[in-house]
Structure 1
């Protein structure tokens, strides 16, 4: 099958420069398995969500390719020096960072076309910030202490010297979602590689090309040994099943919905794998009665429509003092009216599309059910064409226990809930199975911090503070996940600890 035209002409440049593929190749990207860039006979299309046009085609890996990738990762971990050679790992991460920087503009155009991310977002969380994650771990490695001395202890008439060595956890199966594919891939790849693990990375079926492009950079521009990184794309559920059930996979890391996370955790339990999950959220932003309402309303409105609401940590519940409810709702509606949607490649566009028609149907269905249940539609609640756009939507008179207030929408939908006092606001914010993030606004910072500390969430913004960064651990409480990505904590998710003891007289030669 010939390569179809892309919606963005820059993609052709990206393919030629990064992939080093023959022009007649039937796919636009290739899988990375055991150090080789390979394709498959079945392929599947990647769709530009802003236009509905085909961006390109990806190899459709199946169980055979998944098993080959897992075997390669197992062999690379068990038989090479990757897990013990810290200097090699630091050098390879440095090379990967350089390759990402050198090819950033090509990756940017592909991210815009395939993900529907706006150009401005690629200058932050969609591309430029994820590249910094690789730099963080490359710099962290030389100084990180992979052993911890516990000193001596007397036992049974002898003295013993003990220490803890931190070792790579093994083969990692990494499965990512579609919404921020560069961020999600690099937040798993970089710390896993830094720790000395080997990885099989599976991209999301809606955004396969950008993840495969990362694999091609690794193959063509780094000294990472064959099998250490394997990158798959697939529309076949058997690939995910293989990664979560294979006895040769030691760790599973997944970003996606809580429902899928539960299934992955159950599947991984059969082989007692280490599992860490970054799942859904229904985060709340709280405006206390002394807040700067205009500034807080701008934060609440524009953050909710970032990437069309397709962010697990976005604050999709707005908690407001009942005495100021109507005033704040009007401010939010005014800000929503200013949101410019359209071509993500246009620097003036603020909000891009939802990823596909199915997701838009889900969002629209939840809004319609909320209105039928008694919520008031203030603005939005409609599809925007062409592409898979949905208008910024504001709902009031929302029951805190209703579906729209409890379930993750993953679209540009903000619900407003009134509260009586600080205790009531905390109670409503914590009334959720999720605990990923949140925000609070007050002119009294100590008061705002007191509220923030009572919310069960992994990250919190006070008066607009930005908690997200390569050095900052990110993850959730409750059913928002297990474990942390990024920062030193993100590295240690991929390490096992081994305690060693020797008689004290032999200690001088014991701890290298």
Structure 2
């Protein structure tokens, strides 16, 4: 039985809720249902650990504990790999990258960064009214952090919050996604059994109830909220946090565009577009789900992308050869299918896909052409293997369409001319951008978005600084 982590102890919930295997639709296991009282206990433990222990000031203790967590992850990575495949529906090949192995590197990155990151910055002396004043800045932990994550990449999302928050000296209450609770609880078990984190520094909860999330985001003893999920939920969290003016980090939705320029290798561009939208069956906020193509080459590119999608069969995520697995739930599959059917009814052309595949929660890779850039399917996040093709007239038109979104998380360009592509990319209002397949996803690269894709950055040095407060000092220099 998996258990919650509260104040250094692994404890049961009052009851459990099921976690399904999305590849079969069957119950895979049961997770403890945290109560609001347990959520309050976790916040109290985190508050006490921050206020009364040396955690926030003892850099060497933090380094040692992060080193231990990294080693525990390495020692148990194969157990976590199988759990991630079964509960998340993540294809095995993805666990050797962004679903597991890459997130483990985040812990190593922040442990090493903490060894060299300057927590004090001297600003020098100045003379004011005949006296010399020495000024400096010290960087302190933000305090107690509530971390709430989504289901699609639970290891990445949890560790991208835990590692920098803990490195900064914060204490954390981590709430796993109700669709993938067991994966997150496994992290709590590793922390409890294989590290020296003081009691209360890390607390891990799971719940299918909105009440627990409400408690964690409105509690007056929580100083900061870091959330990854839908923009709609992010808005509610931001509103709730405003009541006590909490610091907020939000990593929200995306509707990113990939622009194929007229000088691109169309075969390569089509292959890249097809592979991207099928990665984890489209369940990625930064995936490029709008394909912008030169109007005169529209039909040619549609044909090539359709052929590329046909070469990506759905399959058992445990099979090393599977690239596209299931969606997370029947609820999500119904949402995806509903958006596709409404798009077709509104005039989009269904080129391929648009079908459910049983058993499990599979959905065929789907390509829609003749899509109105202002339509629901072109504006709203689908979170499924659905790619829409939109023609453009020239480079300026491509930029206009790409920026025609409330989101601004990511994007991509395919071109035979790097300088032209880079110049165009600089005009797209997004936080990350891929040029000719360039991979920005790494522990040292900041990740986040513009507009309604969120606030702040995860990973890299900025990921640590999200969890720091800056305190400025000045003292009169005695002669």
Taking structure 2 as the reference length, what is the TM-score of the superposition?
Answer: 0.99
State the match for 2:433 in structure 1.
460
Supply the distance in 2 between the matched residues of 1:167 and 1:123 (Cα, whole angstroms): 35
Check the 8 A contact 1:276/1:481 in 2, yes or no. yes
State the match for 2:71 in structure 1.
98
Following superposition, the deviation at residue 342 of structure 1 comes to 1.7
State the match for 2:167 in structure 1.
194
Return the match for 1:77 from 38, 50, 62: 50
Supply the distance in 1 between the matched residues of 2:212 and 2:125 (Cα, whole angstroms): 48
State the match for 1:207 in structure 2.
180
SS at match of 1:225: coil
* Deviation readout 1:416-473 (Å, 9 max, x if unpaired): 0000000000000000000000000111110000110000000000111000100000
SS at match of 1:381: coil
* Deviation readout 1:224-245 (Å, 9 max, x if unpaired): 0000000000011111111110
State the match for 1:148 in structure 2.
121
Return the match for 1:497 from 470, 474, 477: 470
Supply the distance in 2 between the matched residues of 1:148 and 1:313 (Cα, whole angstroms): 35
Following superposition, the deviation at residue 153 of structure 1 comes to 1.2
* Deviation readout 1:249-284 (Å, 9 max, x if unpaired): 000000000000000000000000000100000000
Supply the distance in 1 between the matched residues of 2:324 and 2:478 (Cα, whole angstroms): 67
Q: How does 1:338-487 map to 2 (within 5 A)?
A: 338-487=311-460
* Deviation readout 1:34-87 (Å, 9 max, x if unpaired): 000000221001000000111111100010110000000000000000000001
SS at match of 1:275: strand
Check the 8 A contact 1:340/1:348 in 2, yes or no. no
Following superposition, the deviation at residue 31 of structure 1 comes to 0.2
Counterpart check, 1:317 vs 2:290: yes
Following superposition, the deviation at residue 206 of structure 1 comes to 0.4
Supply the distance in 1 between the matched residues of 2:434 and 2:427 (Cα, whole angstroms): 13
State the match for 1:40 in structure 2.
13
Supply the distance in 2 between the matched residues of 1:490 and 1:276 (Cα, whole angstroms): 10
Structure 1: give runs of 5+ residues left out of the alignment.
Answer: 1-27, 507-512
Supply the distance in 2 between the matched residues of 1:292 and 1:341 (Cα, whole angstroms): 27
Following superposition, the deviation at residue 505 of structure 1 comes to 2.6
Check the 8 A contact 1:31/1:233 in 2, yes or no. yes
Check the 8 A contact 2:22/2:87 in 1, yes or no. yes
Supply the distance in 1 between the matched residues of 2:322 and 2:104 (Cα, whole angstroms): 23
Q: How does 1:202-351 map to 2 (within 5 A)?
A: 202-351=175-324
* Deviation readout 1:162-210 (Å, 9 max, x if unpaired): 0000000000000000000000000000000000000000000000000
The list of structure 1 runs, each at least 4 consecutive aligned residues, that deviate by more than 6 angstroms after superposition, is none
Supply the distance in 1 between the matched residues of 2:171 and 2:272 (Cα, whole angstroms): 40
Check the 8 A contact 2:47/2:221 in 1, yes or no. yes
Counterpart check, 1:178 vs 2:159: no
State the match for 1:31 in structure 2.
4
How many matched pairs? 479
Following superposition, the deviation at residue 220 of structure 1 comes to 0.3
Check the 8 A contact 1:395/1:415 in 2, yes or no. yes
Check the 8 A contact 1:115/1:179 in 2, yes or no. yes
Supply the distance in 2 between the matched residues of 1:477 and 1:41 (Cα, whole angstroms): 41
Q: What's the Cα RMSD here? A: 0.6
Supply the distance in 1 between the matched residues of 2:105 and 2:28 (Cα, whole angstroms): 27
Counterpart check, 1:114 vs 2:94: no
SS at match of 1:45: strand
State the match for 2:23 in structure 1.
50
Supply the distance in 2 between the matched residues of 1:294 and 1:361 (Cα, whole angstroms): 32
Supply the distance in 2 between the matched residues of 1:455 and 1:241 (Cα, whole angstroms): 35
Supply the distance in 2 between the matched residues of 1:76 and 1:38 (Cα, whole angstroms): 18
Taking structure 1 as the reference length, what is the TM-score of the superposition?
Answer: 0.93
Check the 8 A contact 1:457/1:476 in 2, yes or no. yes
Supply the distance in 1 between the matched residues of 2:198 and 2:138 (Cα, whole angstroms): 24
Supply the distance in 2 between the matched residues of 1:272 and 1:319 (Cα, whole angstroms): 40
Check the 8 A contact 2:14/2:35 in 1, yes or no. no
SS at match of 1:305: helix
Following superposition, the deviation at residue 340 of structure 1 comes to 2.0
Supply the distance in 1 between the matched residues of 2:71 and 2:478 (Cα, whole angstroms): 47
Following superposition, the deviation at residue 156 of structure 1 comes to 2.0
* Deviation readout 1:127-155 (Å, 9 max, x if unpaired): 00000000000111110100111101111
State the match for 2:32 in structure 1.
59
